């Protein structure tokens, strides 16, 4: 496909920021959205794509994803990065934040060192928006499936060194109640990195202090975080309640229908709404595959997990060990389980994560002038086509 040749998508149900256009068309020129019309756009010598009445939406943006297609970013290889990006593109993801797990400093440095080359060579998969470090500064009590061997308090000499070497870090999730975590939040924010609450036992006062110091996003709400707790007979609001109380706090949810059942999906949507809730896969290695056993984390040092009930679990079934969701499943779950409209479900997987990560000026909505990141799907959210920067990277048969 000639990048200079205009592309027209027509006969489409177009999901725009403010309405649905039935029978509309989109013109793409030089990898950008040039125009959106209620009818057919007449363009000479263009590549015409008939949407056949299917939905056309902005590309899905996954700001928390660990792996897929049999690979994990913790593998620390360029091939793993590229295969994960290509796998998720098949399910509508056009942009993502590759996410690490808790590990050694050397492990983090090695993975971050791979990013630049992988980013330059990523032509067939979801674009990388920068790295998301999840841990190692998390609560031991809320570790979930994270490896306890590497959990530690924030050390300035460690995180300052890491940030001085790599500008690709855009988000860092940590537990704000740890010693030094408030200073950590302030520091990473000063470097243009988003600090997020994660794997935390904080109570309301600690969450408020964290929010005031830059922690404006709650990582996978409900998962690995405190709810109402009791200390010496007194009840304290946990991170979940605090995120609900603080109107300006953004939240992300693993909307696979397993990590959060329908009532909790409905509750989050009712309180936080589509403008403050981002859908994430939190997907690990087996996402997009049909395996029944896999590894969480790197292929050499990771933890064995089993796949059943649409989720990854620890072998003893005491805890979930990560999601196997793809982005299309998230949208489907919000519509079918949480009774959310298609327009709002799409906002939660596109515009809202784009705003959270500061890229709404380029991505997240079908608007003239933005990147031509576009997904075509049917009424069951089965992906028919994924386009990234005006280039088709996936088409169903």
Express each pLDDT in 133-164 by its tens digit: 999 999 999 998 888 999 999 999 999 999 99
Indicate yes or no: pTM above 0.95: yes
* Neighbouring residues of 212: CB distance < 8 A, sequence distance ≥ 6: none
Mean pLDDT in residue range 300-316: 92
Mean pLDDT of all residues belonging to the chain: 96
| pLDDT value at 390 more than 80 | yes
Q: Which CATH number fits domain 60-356: 3.40.50.2300, 3.20.20.70, 3.40.50.150, 3.20.20.140?
A: 3.20.20.140
Q: Could you give the count of Cα atoms lying within 13 Å of 123 in the half-sphere of its Cβ?
A: 1
- Contact (CB, 8 A) for 8 and 25: yes
Q: Which CATH number fits domain 7-57+367-395: 1.10.3720.10, 2.30.40.10, 2.60.120.260, 3.90.1150.10?
A: 2.30.40.10
Q: Where are the domains of the chain?
A: 7-57+367-395, 60-356
For residue range 228-257, what is the model confidence (pLDDT) as tens digits? 999 899 999 999 999 999 999 999 999 999
For residue range 84-127, what is the model confidence (pLDDT) as tens digits? 999 999 999 999 999 999 989 999 999 999 999 999 999 999 99
Tokens representing residue 356 in the block: 């959270």
**Residue percentage of the chain with pLDDT more than 70:** 99
Is residue 122 within a helix (H) or strand (E), and if so which, with residue range? none
């Amino acid at each position: 496909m000639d990048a200079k040749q205009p592309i027209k998508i027509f006969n489409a149900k177009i999901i725009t920021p403010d309405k649905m256009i039935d029978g509309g068309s989109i013109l793409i020129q030089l990898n950008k959205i040039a125009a959106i019309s209620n009818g057919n756009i007449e363009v000479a010598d263009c590549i015409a794509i008939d949407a056949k009445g299917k939905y056309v939406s902005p590309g899905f943006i996954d700001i928390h994803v660990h792996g897929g297609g049999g690979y994990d970013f913790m593998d620390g290889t360029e091939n793993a990065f590229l295969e994960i990006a290509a796998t998720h593109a098949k399910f509508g993801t056009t942009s993502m934040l590759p996410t690490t797990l808790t590990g050694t400093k050397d492990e983090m440095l090695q993975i971050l060192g791979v990013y630049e080359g992988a980013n330059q060579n990523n032509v067939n998969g979801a674009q990388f928006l920068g790295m998301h470090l999840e841990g190692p500064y998390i609560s031991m009590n809320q570790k979930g499936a994270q490896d306890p061997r590497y959990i530690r308090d924030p050390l300035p000499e460690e995180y300052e060194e890491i940030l001085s070497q790599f500008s690709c870090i855009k988000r860092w999730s940590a537990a704000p109640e740890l010693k030094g975590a408030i200073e950590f939040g302030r520091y990473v924010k000063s470097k243009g990195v988003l600090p997020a609450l994660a794997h935390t036992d904080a109570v309301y006062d600690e969450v408020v202090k964290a929010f005031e110091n830059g922690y404006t996003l709650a990582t996978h709400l409900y998962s690995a975080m405190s709810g109402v707790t009791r200390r010496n007979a007194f009840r304290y609001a946990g991170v979940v309640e605090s995120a609900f109380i603080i109107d300006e706090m953004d939240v992300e949810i693993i909307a696979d229908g397993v990590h959060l059942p329908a009532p909790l999906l409905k509750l989050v949507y009712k309180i936080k709404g589509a403008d403050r809730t981002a859908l994430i896969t939190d997907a690990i290695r087996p996402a997009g595959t049909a395996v029944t056993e896999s590894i969480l984390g790197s292929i050499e040092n990771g933890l064995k997990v089993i796949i059943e009930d649409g989720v990854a679990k620890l072998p003893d079934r005491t805890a979930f060990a990560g999601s196997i969701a793809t982005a299309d499943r998230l949208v489907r779950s919000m519509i079918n389980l949480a009774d959310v409209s298609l327009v709002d479900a799409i906002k939660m997987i596109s515009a809202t994560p784009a705003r959270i990560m500061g890229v709404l000026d380029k991505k997240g909505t079908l608007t003239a002038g933005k990147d031509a990141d576009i997904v075509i799907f049917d009424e069951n959210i089965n992906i028919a086509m994924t386009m990234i920067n005006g280039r088709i990277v996936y088409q169903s048969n």
